[in-house]
């Protein structure tokens, strides 16, 4: 793969290591195969640090843990804060410390899956590392992708990160209660999401109160309780 860059009117090409991406994609397909064999549905959850990934996961687990046996694979650079927050909500939690790595990849998620008893699970939620850039190039082998942006990140999160939305099922616009204070237009987020990914579903949430979570569950075609 070649990428074109321009600087002061001159353009030059940089070769990107295609091998790295294709190896990851192969492994992602393998992960999906394994999940399907065990009848497990898996969702990759993406968003910047502080957008509300862990809070949304807490809400999903609370709403779904009677219907589904759930495990959360939580990626984090160094801490176990998120894993600790999810643990007492009725899901198994597996923490992957990427030791500085800025995204999860199919191999890390594979290792996580191998550490879980897949025969005792129906649903795996993957909390990716907080970053909306490079995870777009590293599918981990899930059935669906949720991308979360929050109103406090300003109005341009979707238009500035189009690639991450292209393979997403649902765009979650979180912290909807703060939209007015932040002077951002919720409808604009929805328009932007459809512009970068026609057919994507958008859901407005307040992850702290759980508002919008039933709509998210519906958008994911999961069944509550
Ligand atoms: Mg988190
Ligand atoms: Zn990365």
Indicate whether 95 pLDDT > 50: yes
Ligand 1 centroid to Cα of residue 137, in Å, is 20
Inside any domain, residue 30: no
Indicate whether 148 pLDDT > 80: yes
The upper half-sphere exposure of residue 213, i.e. CA atoms within 13 Å in the direction of its Cβ, equals 20
Ligand 1 centroid to Cα of residue 199, in Å, is 27
Inside any domain, residue 101: yes
Measured between its terminal Cα atoms, the distance across the chain in Å is: 46
Kindly report, residue by residue over 98-119, the tens digit of the pLDDT: 888 899 999 999 999 999 999 9
Ligand 2 centroid to Cα of residue 117, in Å, is 28
- Residue 49: nearest ligand to its CA? 1
> Which pLDDT does position 18 carry in this prediction?
73
Inside any domain, residue 9: no
Inside any domain, residue 102: yes
pTM to 2 decimal places: 0.90
Indicate whether 180 pLDDT > 90: yes
Inside any domain, residue 6: no
What sign results for the dihedral spanned by CA atoms 127, 128, 133, 137?
A: negative
Report the alpha-carbon distance of residue 63 to residue 13 in Å, rounded: 49
Which neighbouring-strand residues pair with 96? Answer: 75
Domain membership of residue 181 as a residue range: 40-219
Number of domains in the chain: 1
Inside any domain, residue 28: no
Q: Average the pLDDT over 138-162 and give the result.
A: 96
Ligand 2 centroid to Cα of residue 152, in Å, is 23
106-114 and 18-37 helices, crossing angle to 10°? 30
Ligand 2 centroid to Cα of residue 45, in Å, is 15
Neighbours of ion ligand 2 (CB under 5 A): 102-103, 134
- Residue 75: nearest ligand to its CA? 1
Q: Average the pLDDT over 41-60 and give the result.
A: 96
Encode burial over 39-78: b for 16+ CB neighbours within 10 A, e otherwise: ebbbbbbbbbeebbbbbbbbbbbebbeeebbbbbbbbbee
> Which pLDDT does position 90 carry in this prediction?
85
Inside any domain, residue 92: yes
Kindly report, residue by residue over 17-33, the tens digit of the pLDDT: 678 889 999 999 999 99
> Which pLDDT does position 12 carry in this prediction?
60
Q: What is the DSSP string of the chain?
A: -EEEEEETTEEEEEE--HHHHHHHHHHHHHHHHHHHHTT-EEEEEEE-TTSSHHHHHHHHHHHHTTTS-EEEEEEESS--HHHHHHHTTTSEEEEEE-TT-SS--HHHHHHHHHTS-GGG-SEEEEE--S-SSGGGG---S-SEEEEEEEGGG-TTHHHH-HHHHHT-SEEEEE-GGGHHHHT--HHHHHHHHHHHSTT-EEEE-BTTTTBTHHHHHHHTT----
Radius of gyration from C-alpha coordinates of the chain: 18
Ligand 1 centroid to Cα of residue 1, in Å, is 32
Phi then psi for residue 49, to 5 deg, are -60, 130
- The CATH number for 98's domain is 3.40.50.300
Inside any domain, residue 31: no
Ligand 1 centroid to Cα of residue 166, in Å, is 22
Report the alpha-carbon distance of residue 75 to residue 125 in Å, rounded: 11
């Amino acid at each position: 793969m070649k990428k074109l860059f321009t600087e002061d009117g001159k353009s030059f090409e940089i070769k990107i290591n295609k091998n790295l991406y294709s190896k990851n994609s192969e492994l992602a397909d393998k992960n999906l195969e394994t999940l399907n064999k065990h009848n497990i549905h898996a969702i990759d959850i993406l968003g910047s640090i502080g957008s509300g990934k862990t809070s949304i996961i807490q809400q999903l687990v609370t709403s779904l843990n009677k219907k589904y046996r759930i495990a959360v694979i939580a990626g984090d650079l160094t801490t176990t804060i998120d894993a600790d927050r999810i643990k007492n909500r009725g899901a198994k939690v597996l923490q992957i410390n990427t030791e500085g790595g800025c995204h999860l990849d199919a191999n890390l998620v594979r290792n996580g899956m191998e550490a879980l008893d897949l025969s005792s699970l129906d649903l795996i939620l993957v909390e990716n590392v907080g970053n909306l850039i490079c995870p777009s190039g590293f599918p981990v082998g899930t059935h669906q992708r949720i991308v979360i942006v929050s109103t406090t990140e300003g109005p341009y999160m979707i238009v500035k990160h189009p690639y991450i939305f292209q393979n997403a099922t649902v765009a979650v616009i979180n912290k909807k209660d703060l939209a007015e204070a932040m002077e951002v237009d919720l409808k604009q987020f929805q328009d932007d999401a459809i512009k970068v990914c026609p057919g994507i579903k958008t859901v407005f949430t307040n992850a702290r109160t759980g508002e919008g979570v039933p709509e998210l569950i519906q958008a994911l075609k999961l069944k509550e309780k």
